[in-house]
Amino acid sequence: MALTGVLRPGYTQIRVTDMQAAVDFYTNILGLVETGRDDSGRVYFKAHDERDHHCVILRLADKPGNDFYAFKVLNQATLGELEEKLNAYGVATERRPAGELLETGERVRFTIPTGHVFELYWEQTEVGDGLGYLNPPILIDNRKGISPIRLDHWQLHGADLDGTFDLFTKVLGFTLTEKILGEDGKTVMAVWLTCSNKAHDIAFVRDTRSDTLHHAAFLIETWEKLLNAADLMAKHKVFIDIGPLRHGITRGTSIYFFDPSGNRMETFCGGYSFYPDMKPYTWTWDEVGSAIFYHTRELNERFLTVVT
C-alpha cells in the first residue's frame, strides 16, 4: 500500500533508574547500537537494520516508564497537514524545535485522550545500516545480543480508549485490525491499529491507569532467532515475564521481558499482512486467553497488572 501520511513508529524516550546498567543492557543484551549522547545525559540507540539516527532515547529518572512516543511522517508538508487536522479536531499541539533531540528536525507534540504524549516528525539524520546503497551485502557485521531489526510497536494503557481510537483513526489515518470485546459483548476493551500493512503499529487497552506503558516491541526476523533471544536472556538472567509464545491476535510470536529498570519489552516475530480492504478480527471475552496466549489459553497475572 502507498504510505503517504504517518509512516511508522519512530522513537520513544524511556526512563531508566540506573544509566550504566541500562546502557549495558540495551547495548550488549538487547543489542541496539549507541548513536550519541546529548548535553543532558540522554543516550540514543538504533536497531541494526534501521537507517535513521535513533529509535530509543534513555533518560535517567527516579522511576521507570516512557516520556513520549513518536511516529515518523512522510515529509514536511505532511507534518503541517496533520498538525492542522489535530488542531481542527480540538487537540492542542506544540512545535518543538529542530536540534532539541539529537539529529532530529522539528516535531509536533500533543497529548492523546489516554494521557500519553506523542510526537510527529519528518526529519532525522540518516546514518544508514552499514551496508551502503550500491550493491549492498545482506549481512550486517558486529551484531550484539538479541539484535532486533527495528522498533516495531507499542501497547499503551489508559481510560479514554474511545477518544484515542477516534483520534488515531479519524485524524491520523490508522486502521483497526483487531479488537477485544468485554464481558457485555459491546464494550471495546482493546484495539490494535496499523498505519502500514503490518498487523499493528500500536495497541491500546482500556485501563483506569492512564498514560502507562505495557510494552515496547522490537522486531526479530525469525522464530529461530526468537528462541536464540530466549537463550540469551536466560544466560544473562534477564527477568522474563512470559514466552516464547504465540499470540492469537496478530499471530505473532513473542517473548516479554523487563529491562533493569522494570520497563517491559517484547521481542516480536511474524504477524500477518493487513490491507485497507480487510475487515478487522473481533475477539470475545470468553476467548481472551487464546487471543493473548494462544497455546496455553491462560493469562499471566503479571502480564495483566504490571505497567509503567
Domains detected in the chain = 6-121 (3.10.180.10), 150-305 (3.10.180.10)
- Residue 92, classified by CB atoms within 10 Å of its CB into exposed (0-12), middle (13-18) or buried (19+), is exposed
Separation between Cα atoms, residue 223 and residue 218, nearest integer Å: 14
Residue type, 125: T
Catalytic residues: 153, 200, 215, 247, 256, 266
Q: What is the pLDDT of residue 1?
A: 47
Quick check: 172 and 70 in contact, CB under 8 A?
no
Q: Is 256 helix (H, G, I), strand (E, B) or coil?
A: strand
Q: What is the pLDDT of residue 137?
A: 93
Please state the separation of Cα 243 from the chain's center in Å.
18
Q: What is the pLDDT of residue 2?
A: 59
Sign of the four-CA dihedral 156, 162, 164, 172? positive
Sign of the four-CA dihedral 234, 63, 149, 222? positive
Render each residue's pLDDT in the chain as its tens digit; 308 residues.
Answer: 457 799 999 999 999 999 999 999 999 999 999 999 999 999 999 999 999 999 999 999 999 999 999 999 999 999 999 999 999 999 999 999 999 999 999 999 999 999 999 999 999 999 999 999 999 999 888 889 999 999 999 999 999 999 999 999 999 999 999 999 999 999 999 999 999 999 999 999 999 999 999 999 999 999 999 999 999 999 999 999 998 999 989 999 999 999 999 999 999 999 999 998 999 999 999 999 898 888 888 877 888 788 99
* Pairing, β 107-111 against β 240-246: unpaired
pLDDT in tens, 235-277: 999 999 998 999 989 999 999 999 999 999 999 999 999 998 9
Q: What is the pLDDT of residue 111?
A: 98
End-to-end CA distance of the chain: 34
**C-alpha cell recorded at residue 23:** 546502557
The Cβ-side half-sphere exposure at 48, using a 13 Å CA radius, reads: 20
Separation between Cα atoms, residue 236 and residue 273, nearest integer Å: 34
Beta strands in 20-79 (DSSP E): 33-37, 43-46, 56-60, 65-73
Q: What is the pLDDT of residue 153?
A: 95
DSSP state of 220: -
Q: What is the pLDDT of residue 79?
A: 97
Separation between Cα atoms, residue 254 and residue 153, nearest integer Å: 13
Give the list of residues 6+ apart from residue 272 with CB closer than 8 angstroms, or none: 199, 250, 251
Quick check: 177 and 274 in contact, CB under 8 A?
yes
Q: What is the pLDDT of residue 199?
A: 92
Give the list of residues 6+ apart from residue 275 with CB closer than 8 angstroms, or none: 1, 197
Separation between Cα atoms, residue 296 and residue 276, nearest integer Å: 31
Separation between Cα atoms, residue 107 and residue 109, nearest integer Å: 6
Q: What is the pLDDT of residue 243?
A: 86
